């Protein structure tokens, strides 16, 4: 199987979610199912069916997280340097709008563009890989081509 790249922060977030699902969410849903069973006829018991759906979601997510963590290859960005690669924190300026944005290039499982975490497989990240400060990249987006100048590259 292919390794799943992630940062230590991404791994920690998944570990915490897994711990919460196993120690808080799973016991709570088991109690909810037991309580709903006490109400009698399960075929028309909405609480029972909702709790079973929640249990199914929780068990699925636990399995998913365990599989991801089993394939995880944790990269420590602070130990890296040089041109842009996984883990880099990059500040860009859009050459058309002069808008400045900062992104960290991370794995798919921890990507969150709203919080500046850019998926390594995204068109922008693929265009940035191997480039350095001062370079310009051209990215094809659904809204058309965009040009960005790389202002800074940091590994923190």
Q: How many domains is the chain partitioned into structurally?
A: 2
* R_g of the chain computed on alpha carbons: 21
Residue 64 predicted with pLDDT over 90: yes
pLDDT greater at residue 150 or residue 156: 150
Same-domain check for residues 81 and 150: yes
Helix, strand, or coil here: 72? Answer: strand
Percent pLDDT > 90 in the chain is 83
Residue 43 predicted with pLDDT over 80: no
Q: So what's the pLDDT on residue 57? A: 98
Same-domain check for residues 28 and 92: no
User: From the DSSP assignment, how many helices (H) and strands (E) are in the chain?
Assistant: 4, 7
Q: Which domain range does residue 132 map to?
A: 77-155
Residue 137 predicted with pLDDT over 90: yes
Same-domain check for residues 53 and 81: no
Same-domain check for residues 28 and 66: yes
Nearest Cα to Cα of residue 118 among 7, 21, 38: 7
Q: So what's the pLDDT on residue 32? A: 93
Query: Rounded to a whole number, what is the largest CA-CA distance in the chain?
Result: 69
Domain final residue, candidates 25, 51, 75: 75
pLDDT in tens, 84-131: 999 999 999 999 999 999 999 999 999 999 999 999 999 999 999 999
Same-domain check for residues 62 and 35: yes
The answer to whether 141 and 120 have CB atoms below 8 angstroms apart is no
pLDDT in tens, 25-36: 999 999 999 998
Q: So what's the pLDDT on residue 128? A: 97
Mean pLDDT computed over 7-21? 97
């Amino acid at each position: 199987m292919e390794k799943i790249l992630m940062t230590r922060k991404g791994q920690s977030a998944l570990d915490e979610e897994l711990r919460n699902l196993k120690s808080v969410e799973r016991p709570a849903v088991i109690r909810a199912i037991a309580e709903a069973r006490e109400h009698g006829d399960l075929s028309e018991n909405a609480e029972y069916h909702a709790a079973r759906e929640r249990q199914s979601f929780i068990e699925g997510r636990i399995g998913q997280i365990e599989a991801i963590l089993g394939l995880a290859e944790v990269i420590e960005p602070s130990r890296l340097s040089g041109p842009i690669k996984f883990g880099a924190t990059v500040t860009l300026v859009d050459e058309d709008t002069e808008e400045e944005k900062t992104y960290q290039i991370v794995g798919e499982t921890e990507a969150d563009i709203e919080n500046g975490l850019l998926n390594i497989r995204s068109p922008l990240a693929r265009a940035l890989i191997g480039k350095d400060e001062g370079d310009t990249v051209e990215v094809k987006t659904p809204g058309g081509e965009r040009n960005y100048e790389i202002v800074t590259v940091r590994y923190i």
